[in-house]
Amino acid sequence: MRYFLVISYCGTKYHGWQRQPNSLSIQETLEEAISIVLKQKIFLVAAGRTDAGVHALNMYAHFDANINGEIESKLVSLLNSFLDHTITIKKIIKVVDNAHARFDAISRTYKYKISFCKDPFKHERYFELRNEINFKKIKTASQSLLFHNDFKSFSKTRTDVKNYLCNISKVDWKLKNDQAVFTITANRFLRNMVRAIVGTLIEVGKNKISVDDFNNIIIQRDRAKAGFSVPACGLYLLNVEYSKHIFYK
């Protein structure tokens, strides 16, 4: 039987999702925990690979296992008892045999959180920004993203991707008191893409570049023309959307 996990985690102490030698990862931590609890070797395939320090509110990953009904009903609580406070299993869902956490994803949504004041309770959860920012310009520039589909300018260089095409369907900024939250939804994201977009938009807000400059940066397809990448600590994978047909009713 194939299962989807819905996972929430704080990425601060992890070197990203993907298992790698000599570094602690979310994937390795979860695979070892599930393998021990189920007494069988488990391999996880995630909806995507979050980078070091990035968090997730709803990450999806699939695995195959033979689980009896009694264990299945207790598996969420068993795993949460086994894992430390940085990772929570929210759900385990039965899916059809060929369901794929990565390839069947219709869209992914990320949030980026910015704090305008020093706050010990937001440390390593928000990007702390002390500068005054023109959010009217940032919001206007953000809308440019909806009219493009090639985002090489915001992609990490030296990656193995074959194309830089992404269909962005939503961008939004919310300001409340001493913080701002950027939300973006697309069918896929390139490595470092959200952090590079936010960093470049901040340069718009600081009046270092214009709204037209931001649009031209996208057109030029050159990472060197774009702005800095904001820190990983403020980035959250909010959700992944799937077609309902892959889930058992």
Return the active site residues.
Answer: 51
Token couple for 50? 């979050």
Q: Which residues pair with 74 in a beta bridge?
A: none
Token couple for 37? 């609890």
Encode 22-48: b = buried (16+ Cβ within 10 Å), e = exposed: eeebbbbbbbebbeebbeeebebebbb
Enter the DSSP assignment of 47.
Answer: S
Distances (CA, A) of 120 to 115, 126, 171: 11, 10, 29
First to last CA, the chain: 15
C-alpha–C-alpha distance, residues 47 and 139, integer Å: 29
Closest CA relative to residue 247, chosen from 32, 26, 53, 2: 2
Token couple for 19? 């298992």
Enter the DSSP assignment of 150.
Answer: B
Q: Please check whether residue 185 is in contact with residue 107, taking contact to mean a CB–CB distance below 8 angstroms.
A: yes
Look-up of token digits 């695995």: 63
